[in-house]
Chains A and B, each alone.
Chain A
Amino acid sequence: MSLLSPAEGWYYKKVSKDEKMWMVIALVLCIMLFIWMVMWHVYGRQNPSSTTYKTSTAEFSKLSEAYIKQNMVGTDKGIPVVRPQPNSDVFILAEMWRWSPVLILQKDQAYKMHISSRDVLHGFSIQPVNMNFQVYPQYDYVLEFKPTEAGEYKVICNEFCGIGHHTMIGKMVVIEKEEDLKLYGYENFKKAPDLKSTKKPESLSETEMALQGEQVYALKGCAACHKTDGTSQLAPTWKGLYGKEEKVTENGKAVSIKVDDAYIKESIKNPQQKITVGFENTPMPVFPVSDEEIDQLIAYIKTLKN
């Protein structure tokens, strides 16, 4: 009588045997489910951690940059590669639209991964093992992973993070023995010399400058949008860029300019000043890059000829 007041005495009506039975079973199931989750923390091997630190985007970016600089052994597709020591702290930075660094991990060893974002929310999704975690700016989430199977893994972003969301894909390889590095072409990776100790800017040759520029390209995240293979999905490719005639919009007016040192410098320091026609929807953010690093980047771009 769901449209009418219930019949007299409804409140004191006895619950039928079958309904009572079902309710008891349901209640037991509910309590079991609860206990199951608690017990998995004791006996299970997969539990989201409770370790979080409050941080700021600037602080975490600095941490991650310093970490990569110190531990980088090479680059893969413009992304720095790091081979952390087992049981060490690893810093993973998510940003529009890349994960850095690429990691070389040892099977059955644990790594404390600190994950945070430089800009918006991202989703940390390791495939094909299919483990998914949320990444925030301003929070450092510490997850201790122990890979149980060797192989190549990709980290895809599964939280919407802007127009280039689908290009945000990173990499981890898990090796069992040293020879496995060959599978990924990483066998020649060694610890790079510390840039600071060899830093003599005035004596650097153009080639050395360009090599350092390539590192800056990988470190600072230029590689997320600017490709060096000639494709221009989110931003103009750097291949053959130097010296090219480019159509840009300045103050709402279309003008044609030649890509030279001054233009590149301006575009990095003040990206909204001249916007290349066709890329209005993927505005470039301002990155913390020094003048010296800009010169190195320019040297690197010059080497990328068609």
Chain B
Amino acid sequence: MFRTCDITGFKVDLQSEKLIRYNAVFAVISLLLAVVAAILLVFTRYQPVHLLGAEWYYRLVTFHGLNALIFWIIFFEIAGLYFGSTVILNTRFCAPKLGWVAFALMVLGLVMSNTLILMGKADVMLTSYTPLKAHPLYYLGIILFAVGALLAVILFFGNLMIARREKTYGDTLPLFTYGMMTAAIIAVITLASGALIYIPTFLWSVGLVQNVDPAMYKLIWWGLGHSSQQINVAAMVSIWYLVSFLTVGGTSINEKVSRTAFVLYILFICLASAHHLLTDPGVSSAWKVWNTSYAMYLAVLASMIHAFAVPSSFESAQRRWGYNKGLFQWLSKAPWGNPAFSAIILAIIGFGFIGGTTGVIFGMEQTNIIVHNTIAIPGHFKGTVVIGTTLTFMGITYYLIPLIFRRKIVGFGWAKWQPWLFFIGIALLSISMIVLGQMGVPRRHWDNTFSGGPFTYNFNPAVDFFWVLMMLGGVIAFLSTIIWIFIVVFSVFFGPKVNGPQDMQLTISPLAPPAKPHKGFEAPGTLVLTFIFLLVFLALFFLNWKWLAATWYVK
């Protein structure tokens, strides 16, 4: 059963649309659970308040990690995969019943694991490093969720096959779907690693396996933990290209380059498990250097390529619309009133300048010594998964509400501000966590005063200032997420129905006119921005190596 979208002209399979809706709704529920836990954690680590007791602090760190990093993101990505493989390709969903089985498994997994955590049977952190042991049902919940997700990914490939056979799109997959396919391939590798480690750990927790080697556990677990973040990167970059198309009618200035970059992700990104083993026993330096660099940084190269290709797709389209003056008129005349646009631009900036720079620097073998397991690490991935992925997902939701849920956005004025608030909040949170970590503050730690320990330690007094900043950033980010959730919930359940293009609050741009042949640079503004990025990266790079060089000698 299809409907033809009166706004975009796409043929929409109603079964698929329903699956997209339900997955998206559970994504939002997971995000709500995650941020409620997050704000309690912020006020626990902020020592003057020190809200929770040690038990509930660690319990909620586990809860927050699982809901934010796994449930929120994967539910949303499954919705994205279904969207990219059916709606965009004008095709039907290959097996809707299996789609519901996958959904049910994922929901069951979510309920099981979360219940076990809140009952206090799984105070093991998201990473659950053995020999810390949780209740068997906790592991089983995650396994069920992963099996559901894997099934959904397989259905995505099924949809692609149908579309290809029935020739519902041109000769080549659209870039967005191509990027989502990259995400899906990485997801298969990731979920396989997950199965490889959670199944023996589950058997160990029920007593059928004697010992799960802790070093092996950590190596394979991060094949799931880190690679799953690369699913996010691929999905997020795909959405960036999508939003460039929707808001200014842009596309990658060279699709072959963008697609090659996606292939680089598939080839090299699965080595990232090494990022977590740099200061560990068990593996040699040669292994660490090769793997942590994704084989000479070829996956970083992919991100660097997108760092140019995505902004230049906006710039090139804007220039063709006539915003050609100077280096940055394309940016100043951009549709800033469109919350999806501002969310994506802010996500790109945050992801690059905060998450990307620290990711590469902290992930180098030696500099990892000065940040490993400090709060700088969660600071770094607030810069990638939260400012990058989460803000991107929030942004694209402003299009999903009218196009998939067929509702007008309630509180559109608030929506215009929400991405900015979120960006400021997470940027504050993330940067202050990174600075705190550089001063040695540990992550996942209930009491910075070490009460009850034989000794005590006072951090550099400057930490007090950054704790305040972190708390402030956390509050702002929390409020903006709540605003977003309110907008989504009220729009989806009570918003006025969308009956055609006249009800669209966010414009959908027609294709930008073709370029006139010209010599010289295609996107000079973008080139300047990427050079600024390079300078910031180099400054942070040398700063960190200087700090490292000032520490004790170790070999």
Contact = CB atoms under 8 A, between A and B. Distances in A.
Given A119-B131, A164-B452, A167-B453, A2 B175 contact: yes
Interface stretch (A46-54, A66-74, A207-215): A46-54
A169 B452 CA distance: 10
A231 B454 CA distance: 11
Interface stretch (A11-19, A87-95, A186-194, A258-266): A11-19
A153 to B, nearest CB: 9
A243 B439 CA distance: 46
Given A33-B360, A131-B370, A154-B457, A1 B281 contact: no
B327 to A, nearest CB: 12
A138 interface: yes
Interface residues of B, number: 108
B554 interface: yes
Contact of A223 (B257, B443, B454): B454
Interface string A4-16: 1110001101011
Interface in B363-381: 364-366, 368-374
A166 B552 contact: no
B172 to A, nearest CB: 5
B465 interface: no
B332 interface: no
Given A6-B251, A33-B297, A166-B445, A132 B279 contact: yes
A137 B521 CA distance: 57
Contacts of B286: 50
A16 B308 contact: no
Contact of B254 (A15, A31, A37, A138): A15
Contact of A44 (B280, B371, B549): B549
B456 A169 contact: yes
Interface in A109-147: 110, 119-121, 123, 125-134, 136-141, 143-147
Contact of A5 (B58, B173, B459, B548): B173
Contacts of A120: 129, 131-132
B411 interface: no
Most buried by A among B309, B369, B372, B444: B372
B357 interface: no
B552 A5 contact: no
A159 B373 contact: yes
A158 B306 CA distance: 35
Contacts, number: 317
Contacts of A133: 279-280, 369, 372
The secondary structure that dominates the A interface is mixed
Interface in A32-60: 33-34, 36-38, 40-41, 44-50, 52
B554 A47 contact: yes
Given A3-B174, A137-B214, A138-B213, A166 B521 contact: no
Interface stretch (B28-36, B288-296, B487-495): B288-296
Given A2-B176, A13-B254, A123-B373, A166 B554 contact: no
Contacts of B547: 130
Interface residues of A, number: 95
Most buried by A among B54, B447, B526: B54
Interface in B537-555: 547-549, 551-555
Contacts of A123: 372-373, 442
B285 A1 contact: no
Interface string B162-201: 0000000111111110010000000000000000000000
Given A46-B369, A125-B442, A131-B551, A170 B455 contact: yes
Given A22-B308, A46-B554, A166-B452, A3 B242 contact: yes
A284 to B, nearest CB: 16
A168 B453 contact: yes
Interface string B253-265: 1111100000000
Given A30-B298, A30-B300, A13 B256 contact: yes
Contact of A134 (B301, B372, B460, B549): B372
B9 to A, nearest CB: 11
B297 A165 contact: no
A46 B282 contact: no
Nearest to A124: B279
B111 interface: no
Given A29-B534, A47-B554, A160-B58, A3 B176 contact: yes
B456 A139 contact: no
Nearest to A41: B285
A158 B445 contact: yes
A5 B174 contact: yes
Nearest to A140: B281
25 contacts: A2-B245, A5-B173, A15-B257, A18-B527, A19-B308, A22-B530, A23-B305, A31-B297, A46-B366, A48-B279, A48-B554, A120-B129, A121-B218, A123-B373, A128-B440, A128-B460, A131-B552, A137-B131, A140-B281, A158-B445, A159-B444, A167-B451, A169-B457, A170-B455, A234-B452
